[in-house]
């Protein structure tokens, strides 16, 4: 029998005894109903941003709408429900009663009135208590701001460009056509200028294997245009099967080492000739970006990313010198986190705001785009500039999220700051020991600061955006009833890494109910993908990945080891060509330290689970640290980085594919497996090639590890299929059997 079919030999996985989900559901309902006001609801601003309305649940369970006068910080009830009901009965809705008002939205207006929408009525309510019926269709015309929520960033970086795309020149005098390798510019007068095809020399040579593509990008004066020369290659196809729907489809899926389409920017002058960047200017690239002409028509710029993610930057063609150069680069022999740390915001004075890790920390710099010289650091220090929220060109200021700047705080907590373009005048717009989300009102004069910790329910403040000063307390969630119902917050815990150098931050969730006289097995929930950090920092009543296993008498823990992001370059680059490490030595050290402060942890019974990169991490825990981890559940893992998608794996493992790829593949070390492995994969995964899991299964069977393996293909399931409720139940049952846990409750 072929090894690929041997998963059929494990039918017991599908009929194992499982705990009931009623325990989880009851606990979830009890706890979530025991606390309210965990987020600010129905937030609305007046058009000027000087008045704010929101709703709040009172201790009696009633929804109260409040209005804030931002200038003074005065918070009052938006209306008296009894007075509103009485006014409605007289003027608009004869049957109105306090209990059926059903107010859904209160929109403050700059004149002091409130637009109120409720059950069967829309009206304006004046400060003197008078009421006026309104047309509901007019509500869309009212200027309001979005409700409070997550930090809102500026989105995609801005590149200023005076480029016009199309076959016709900006002045309408020329039209460009492309036929094969030949480019022709034809004037309205009938004059033609034919640019040399492939096979020529110097500037007249189209690189071998390249063809013209895209629309001409014209300089503002219409004297030059640019085209892409593209070397296109077929993209590998991946067949996705679904046995439930009985479908098959192919998707594009390139893998590490695959040949990639290349683009070179080529500049044509109507005076004759063209120029493309030689590989001495721009080495092998994975992709390039837009074609951006400057307003004076003298320079063409394009962004690029090096193959293997060792750098990105901007190249520039100078019309006067007819030369290309690297204008601005961010490069590192290991990797530059292109997808996470790239940011560029071009300014009208021909400077740009640019993110770099040149100091070892992610920071923002101001760069002269005419010379490529760095003018100054906008942010600096042994902390991380996480993301830009807003650029105020008039005030020449940047609002951003910073991590780790405040001594004594968890370095992953988000705080919001503003700083001048020249790096002076840094102002903290948020404060408080927790992680912060902000939403600015219209005109950006005020902001709502929402902050919490895993052990601190949310608090909501109105702050002045000029200096971060607190204007008003909008409310604090109260977790007294929640704690009375038996809920315990995750315990924040910090221990040193493998070398005693870095602090490793994590959380501990105790079993519920908890008996301090008992010893409990421990499960680590792992995801060590280098693209971010993953330990929860904000308040949450329920997280299934933590609370469901903890309700079945397990400790559940999570921490961010070396190799993850947000702690500086040295911490991050532990992952380079080293994904198999997964920070596991740091995790083991952390767990041993945690066991000293939580003696009820039984560190002779430690399990680990994760999905995707976390699936790979969980398997490596058994392969490399099987003396500590006794069982693992791995779902949809990228167990072989040669088989998984190109963009994610080359980011950390590099290009070209070298022996370190095989050294980090789980199947290479299959013979080292210790402990029980619950291996799952969604049959229809479009994220991670299912071959990663099938190949690992085959290697384990070939290594004689059948008795340690429980394997399930989830028919019709996609990426993360093991997070379905039925599979989560099976996973907890696996750990109960593998770690000697108690019977299901």
Could you tell me the maximum CA-CA distance found in the chain, to the nearest angstrom? 95
Class of domain 18-30+482-739: alpha beta
Q: What is the mean pLDDT of residues 516-543?
A: 97
Of the given ranges (111-115, 154-158, 513-517, 602-606), which has the lowest mean pLDDT?
154-158
Q: Which residues contact 512 (CB under 8 A, 6 or more apart)?
A: 27, 486, 487, 488, 547, 550, 551
472, 54 Cβ separation under 8 angstroms: no
As a whole-number percent, the residues of the chain with pLDDT over 70 amount to 91
Q: Tell me what pLDDT residue 2 has.
A: 33
pLDDT of residue 275: 81
- Tell me the pLDDT band of 144, cut-offs 50, 70 and 90: low
20-49 average pLDDT score = 92
Asked if residue 507 has pLDDT above 60, the reply is yes
Least confident of 214-223, 337-346, 353-362, 398-407: 337-346
Chain-centroid distance of CA 491 in Å reads: 25
For residue 537, the SS3 value is coil
Sign (positive or negative) of CA dihedral 70, 417, 313, 295: positive
Copy the structure tokens of residue 622: 């058994």
What is the pLDDT confidence band of residue 202, given thresholds at 50, 70 and 90?
very low
- Which pLDDT score, from 0 to 100, does residue 646 have? 96
Q: How confident is the model at residue 287 (pLDDT cuts 50, 70, 90)?
A: low
At residue 470, what are phi and psi to the nearest 5 degrees?
A: -70, 130
Edge-to-edge strand ranges of the sheet holding 274-275: 164-165, 211-218, 224-231, 262-269, 274-275
Q: What is the pLDDT of residues 554-609, one digit of tens each?
A: 999 999 999 999 999 999 999 999 999 999 999 999 999 999 999 999 999 999 99
Domain boundaries, the chain: 18-30+482-739, 41-141
Greater pLDDT, 472 or 304: 472
Q: Is the pLDDT of residue 711 over 80?
A: yes
pLDDT at 128 over 50: yes
> Mean pLDDT in the chain?
91
**Residue 339: what pLDDT?**
74
Return the closest-CA partner of residue 71 out of 48, 54, 91, 94. 48
How many Å apart are CA 633 and CA 635, to the nearest integer? 7
Q: What pLDDT band is residue 201 in, cutting at 50, 70 and 90?
A: very low
Angle of the 613-624 helix axis to the 584-597 helix axis, nearest 10: 80
Does pLDDT of 544 surpass 80?
yes
Task: Read off the pLDDT band of 80 (50, 70, 90).
Answer: very high
The secondary structure of residue 295, as a DSSP letter, is: T
For residue 364, how far is the Cα from the chain centroid?
19
**Span of 187-196, 346-355, 371-380, 422-431 with lowest mean pLDDT:** 187-196
- pTM listed for this prediction: 0.93
Q: pLDDT tens, 247-274?
A: 999 999 999 999 998 888 889 999 877 8
The pLDDT of residue 743: 56
What gap in Å lies between CA 676 and CA 655, rounded to an integer? 34
- pLDDT of res. 154: 42
Mean pLDDT for the stretch of residues 350-359? 96
Q: Cα Rg for the chain, rounded, in angstroms?
A: 30
Distance CA 336, CA 328 (A): 14
**What pLDDT, in 10s, does the model give residues 449-472?**
999 999 999 999 999 999 999 999
Q: Is the pLDDT of residue 54 over 80?
A: yes
Q: Are 611 and 638 in contact (CB under 8 A)?
A: no
3-state SS record for 116-142: EEECCEEEEECCCCCEEECCHHHHHHC
Q: How far is CA 327 from CA 305, 316, 323, 588, 676, in A?
A: 14, 6, 12, 45, 54
* Cα 305–chain centre separation: 20
Question: Six-digit token pair at 448?
Answer: 């709502």
- Asked if 314 and 327 touch (Cβ cutoff 8 Å), the reply is yes
**How high is the pLDDT of residue 151?**
43
Place of tokens 């903290």: 428
Torsion region of 478: left, alpha or beta (phi above 0 gives left; psi -120 to 50 gives alpha): beta
The CA–CA distances, whole Å, from 679 to 252, 611, 676, 719 equal: 26, 10, 10, 14
């Amino acid at each position: 029998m072929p090894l690929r079919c041997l998963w059929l030999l494990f039918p017991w996985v599908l009929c194992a005894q499982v705990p009931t989900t009623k325990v989880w559901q009851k606990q979830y309902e009890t706890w979530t109903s025991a606390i309210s006001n965990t987020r600010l609801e129905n937030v609305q601003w007046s058009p000027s941003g000087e008045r704010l309305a929101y709703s709040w649940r009172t201790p009696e369970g009633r929804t109260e709408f409040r209005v804030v006068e931002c200038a003074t910080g005065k918070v009052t009830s938006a209306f008296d429900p009894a007075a509103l009901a009485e006014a409605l009965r007289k003027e608009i809705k004869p049957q109105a009663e306090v209990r059926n008002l059903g107010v859904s939205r209160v929109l403050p207006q700059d004149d002091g009135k409130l637009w109120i929408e409720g059950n069967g009525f829309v009206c304006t309510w004046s400060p003197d208590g008078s009421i006026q019926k309104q047309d509901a269709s007019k509500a869309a015309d009212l200027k309001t701001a979005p409700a409070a929520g997550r930090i809102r960033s500026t989105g995609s970086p801005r590149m200023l460009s005076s480029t016009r795309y199309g076959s016709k020149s900006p002045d309408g005098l020329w039209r460009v056509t492309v036929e094969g390798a030949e480019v022709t510019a034809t004037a309205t007068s009938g004059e033609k200028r034919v640019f040399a095809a492939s096979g020529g020399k110097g500037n007249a040579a189209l690189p071998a294997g390249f063809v013209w593509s895209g629309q001409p990008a014209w300089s503002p004066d219409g004297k030059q245009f640019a085209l892409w020369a593209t070397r296109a290659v077929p993209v590998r196809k991946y067949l996705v099967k679904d046995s439930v729907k009985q479908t098959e489809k192919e998707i594009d899926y390139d893998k590490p080492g695959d040949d990639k389409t290349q683009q070179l920017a080529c500049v044509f002058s109507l005076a004759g000739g063209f120029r493309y960047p030689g590989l001495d200017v721009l080495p092998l690239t994975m992709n390039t970006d837009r074609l951006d002409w400057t307003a004076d028509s003298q320079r063409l710029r394009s962004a690029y990313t090096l193959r293997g993610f060792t750098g990105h930057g901007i190249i520039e063609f100078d019309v006067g010198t007819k030369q290309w150069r690297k204008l601005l680069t961010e490069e590192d022999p290991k990797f530059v986190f292109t997808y996470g740390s790239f940011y560029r915001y071009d300014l009208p004075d021909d400077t740009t705001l640019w993110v770099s890790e040149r100091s070892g920390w992610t920071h923002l710099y101001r760069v002269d785009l005419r010379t490529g010289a760095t003018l100054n650091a906008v942010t600096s220090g042994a902390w991380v500039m996480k993301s830009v929220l807003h650029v105020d060109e008039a005030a020449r200021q940047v609002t951003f999220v910073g991590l780790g700047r405040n001594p004594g705080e968890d370095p992953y907590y988000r705080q919001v700051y503003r700083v001048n373009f020249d790096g002076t005048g840094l102002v903290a717009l948020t404060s408080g020991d927790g992680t912060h989300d902000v939403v600015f009102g219209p005109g950006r004069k005020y902001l709502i600061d929402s902050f919490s910790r895993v052990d601190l329910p949310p608090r909501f403040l109105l702050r002045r955006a000029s200096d971060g000063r607190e204007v008003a307390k909008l409310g604090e969630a109260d977790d007294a009833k929640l704690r009375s119902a038996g809920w315990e917050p995750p315990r924040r815990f910090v221990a040193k890494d493998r070398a005693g150098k870095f602090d490793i931050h994590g959380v501990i969730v105790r079993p519920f109910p908890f008996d301090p006289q008992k010893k409990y097995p421990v499960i680590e929930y792992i995801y060590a993908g280098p693209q971010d950090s993953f330990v929860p920092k904000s308040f949450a009543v329920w997280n299934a990945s933590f609370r469901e296993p903890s309700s079945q008498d397990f400790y559940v823990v999570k921490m961010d080891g070396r190799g993850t992001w947000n702690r500086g370059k040295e911490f991050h680059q532990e992952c380079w060509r080293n994904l198999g490490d997964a920070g596991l030595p740091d995790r083991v050290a952390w767990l041993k330290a945690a066991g000293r402060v939580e003696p009820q942890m039984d560190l002779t019974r430690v399990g680990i689970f994760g999905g995707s990169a976390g699936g790979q991490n969980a398997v490596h825990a058994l392969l490399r640290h099987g003396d500590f981890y006794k069982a693992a559940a791995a779902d949809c893992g990228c167990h072989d980085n040669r088989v998984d998608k190109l963009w994610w794996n080359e980011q950390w493992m590099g290009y070209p594919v070298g022996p370190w790829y095989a050294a980090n593949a789980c199947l290479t070390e299959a013979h080292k497996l210790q402990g029980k492995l619950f291996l799952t994969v969604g049959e229809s995964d479009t994220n991670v090639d299912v071959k990663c899991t099938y190949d690992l299964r085959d290697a384990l069977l070939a290594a004689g590890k059948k008795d340690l393996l429980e394997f399930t293909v989830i028919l019709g399931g996609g990426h993360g299929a093991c997070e379905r409720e039925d599979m989560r139940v099976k996973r907890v049952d696996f750990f109960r059997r593998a770690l000697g846990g108690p019977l299901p409750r």
